[in-house]
Amino acid sequence: MRTMTRQKYSGHFTKIVMGGVDTIRTLKLLGKWSANRAVGRRRPLIAVFSMTHYCNFYCPMCPFGDADKEGQMALARRKDLTTEQWKAVFDKVSKYCVWAIVEGGEPTSRPDFMELVKYLHGLKMPVTLISNCSLLHTIDLDELRKHIQFVTCSIDSTYEESYCKVRGVNPHMYRRVMDNLHLLTEHKVSHYFNSVITKYNTQEFIDQTYFDRARELGASAVSFTFVEDRSDVDYSLLPDRQTMNKVCESILDYMGKQKEKGGGPQVMIPPEYFRQILEHGRGIFDECGVWKSIFVNGDGTVMVPCWKFNGPENTYSLLEHSVDEIWSAPQWDIARTCHDCEVLGCIWYSSQPVSTFARNYMRGLGKIISQERPELAEAV
Ligand code: SF4
Ligand code: SF4
């Protein structure tokens, strides 16, 4: 099996880039990752860079939605990594990770946003930008297109009223975002939608108008997660169980029709996610896969095993520690038995086999794995 795989590699050496992704680099890192895995050493494969503590939106499900924007800006000025510090972090992380997800706060609010994206591109890291899309009109989109794989548009509702409610913004901002989505289409920047389903936006999924409206806004694919309620607030944004079931049934119905007839945007989250929520009221996984991604906070820290265990004893700075040191920390053991994330799509995903994991934020990577390293496809 091993020899066959090696032979397969050599046959592909001339094909350096697949869908804009450097295949040789990706395969090298996947090989290193699985060799580590074989000796029981876990290391990250996907990088998530939370570029700033600042976001111009007010989403209640997100810590960056804080209403005190002046305080948040001051925090960002005080704690956000500088351009050079981010570059040093990118250098370290790029030795392990096949893909970079750039998010925030709102990453495009950083004045050096394009410089940092170009730097990642220079390191041959494919980049997914997750953005609320409200500032895209301030960016050179033709330049952006050259340096990223696609934009994941964080669009929780396609209707003005629900959108404004979920995101805590006014109708003027909603229209600005919609205009910016058209700009992405005009400038041929690949984009898809990622939506958090809360009690405020269930109707458009139940009546399936969400899909038509997403297509009209240029999204060829969509991904969702139910909201995972925050433990630091005393309100719940999750719809009741009956409504969640209606949403799941309707999305599964749409996926069935879409598979048969095509037409609307493709749903990037597998049907199992919705089936499990229908059946068990939550997503099911044996062991949390949060260790497969390195989530770097705006100040360069990493929390082990995740943000829910936020405390100085679990926080490591990438400016001071190596990835190897951080991934050898004893706190990773917490994730071996923790199942606290019940419906959070990204954690459900990362706890699934790698090929499933790769299908969501990293389109193109799944294809490389299934074509070049099929034995990895079922690795957990
Ligand atoms: S737009 Fe995104 S980062 Fe900003 S507050 Fe909302 S969910 Fe958080
Ligand atoms: S399941 Fe537990 S360890 Fe995993 S991300 Fe959620 S809270 Fe963290």
Nearest Cα residue to 137 out of 176, 101, 110, 106: 176
DSSP E strand boundaries for the chain: 17-18, 21-22, 46-50, 99-103, 127-131, 150-154, 191-197, 221-226, 266-267, 293-296, 301-303, 315-317
| CB of 339 sitting under 6 A from ligand 2 | yes
Q: How far is the CA of 295 from the centre of ligand 2 (A)?
A: 13
Residue 89 token pair: 């972090």
Chain position carrying tokens 């330049």 = 143
Q: How far is the CA of 104 from the centre of ligand 1 (A)?
A: 8
DSSP 338: -
Please list the ranges in the chain whose pLDDT falls under 50.
1-17, 380
Q: How far is the CA of 35 from the centre of ligand 1 (A)?
A: 37
pLDDT in tens, 257-310: 988 888 889 998 889 999 999 999 999 898 899 999 999 999 999 999 998 899
Q: How far is the CA of 378 from the centre of ligand 1 (A)?
A: 33
Q: Which ligand is nearest to the CA of 332?
A: 2
| CB of 340 sitting under 6 A from ligand 2 | yes
How high is the pLDDT of residue 360? Answer: 54
Specify the ligand 2 atom closest to the Cα of 308: 7
Who lines ligand 1 at CB under 6 A? 55, 57, 59, 62, 64-65, 104-106, 132, 154, 167
Answer whether the bond into residue 374 is a cis peptide, omega within 30°: no
How high is the pLDDT of residue 4? Answer: 33
Nearest Cα residue to 40 out of 332, 301, 318, 314: 332
Cα angle, residue 75 at apex, residues 72 and 76 outer, rounded to 5°: 90
Specify the ligand 2 atom closest to the Cα of 339: 1
| Residue with CA nearest ligand 2 atom 8 | 306
| Residue with CA nearest ligand 1 atom 5 | 65
CA atoms of 58 and 68, how far apart (whole Å): 9
Assigned superfamily of 16-376: Aldolase class I (3.20.20.70)
How high is the pLDDT of residue 303? Answer: 96
How high is the pLDDT of residue 1? Answer: 33
